Amino acid sequence: MRHTRIAAAIGIAWFTLNLALIAYATRLGLFLSPTDAMQGNIGRVFFYHVPTSIWALVFPYINFIASVFYLYWRRRDPLKALTADAWALASAEITVVYATICLWTGMLWGRAEWGIWWTWDARLTSMLLLWLLYVSYLMLRKFSSTGQTYTLAAVLSIFAAVDVPIVYESIRLWPTQHPAPVFYGAPGTGLDKSMYPAFNWNILAWGMWGIFLLVFRYTLERRRQASEQDAALAAIEASLEIAQ
């Protein structure tokens, strides 16, 4: 009980601090960072789009690692496997949230900057594929009624993780419509120093928010698993009483 209270206090403190950070980072991105000389104010989309996109490529790896552990533990230690599965589910949902934002904000920026909502560019297509893979992962978990649902989902998650490095490298391997890499790109590219505070604070704020959501979703799933186990035990006890 004491641990629960401490965890709740940490969660509330994290949530409050995180909201303040998001507000501060948003203020930096929208109002205090200098206007992009080439793009004008629409360039401020960068401060939300890029940090969110970076995190959208981090959470799939949590899903991947958790799924590998699930497959390893599912026969050796089913209780540990359930823990891994809860992490996998939570990280898949957060991936979908962040990838949705990445695609949607990118489309809004593209319409303003390129004059088109969408093009089948390597980066856009591979990112859409990533989104579809994690949506199908969640759909599989939601609607599959076989006893192997978790195992199938874990295997799908391993396939889905293959797309992450492809998304990351796509603008280097197949440079077409999407802007060239801002970081670790060609010589002379990069972000102006005056824009780094807004960018860095947004990375931190949205990363912390993703971790908060991840832990929240994980805890919720663990509660669901626990209540399901309680129900299973109660059903077994009830059937034994009938037999007597």
Partner 1 sequence: MKLAWLFGPTLEQRHLLLVYLSVWLIQGGYFAWLATQWLRTIRNPPSTSGPPSQPSR
Which residues are near partner 1 by CB under 8 A? 26-27, 30-31, 40-42, 44-45, 48-49, 52, 89, 93, 97, 100-101, 104-105, 108-109, 111-112, 138, 141-143, 145, 149-150, 209, 213, 216-217, 220-221, 223-224, 227-235, 238
Q: How far is the CB of 228 from partner 1 (least distance, A)?
A: 5
**CB neighbours of 160 closer than 8 A, spacing ≥ 6?**
60, 63, 64, 130, 133, 134, 137
Q: Which is nearer to partner 1, 57 or 88 (CB)?
A: 88
Q: How far is the CB of 129 from partner 1 (least distance, A)?
A: 20
Token output for 180:
């060239």
Cβ atoms of 88 and 154 closer than 8 Å: yes
Q: Which is nearer to partner 1, 45 or 124 (CB)?
A: 45
Cβ atoms of 46 and 110 closer than 8 Å: no
Q: Which is nearer to partner 1, 147 or 188 (CB)?
A: 147
Q: Which is nearer to partner 1, 80 or 172 (CB)?
A: 80
**CB neighbours of 93 closer than 8 A, spacing ≥ 6?**
138, 217
Q: How far is the CB of 192 from partner 1 (least distance, A)?
A: 19
Distance CA 48, CA 42 (A): 11
Q: Which is nearer to partner 1, 72 or 216 (CB)?
A: 216
Distance CA 92, CA 59 (A): 7
Q: How far is the CB of 188 from partner 1 (least distance, A)?
A: 26
**CB neighbours of 196 closer than 8 A, spacing ≥ 6?**
none
Q: How far is the CB of 19 from partner 1 (least distance, A)?
A: 10
Q: Which is nearer to partner 1, 123 or 217 (CB)?
A: 217
Q: How far is the CB of 185 from partner 1 (least distance, A)?
A: 23
Task: Specify the length of the chain in residues.
Answer: 244
148: phi then psi, degrees, rounded to nearest 5 = -105, 15
Cβ atoms of 73 and 84 closer than 8 Å: yes
Cβ atoms of 133 and 36 closer than 8 Å: no
**Angle of CA points 65, 70, 76, to nearest 5°:** 135
Residue in the structure block whose two tokens are 């981090």: 58
Q: Which is nearer to partner 1, 105 or 174 (CB)?
A: 105
Q: How far is the CB of 224 from partner 1 (least distance, A)?
A: 7
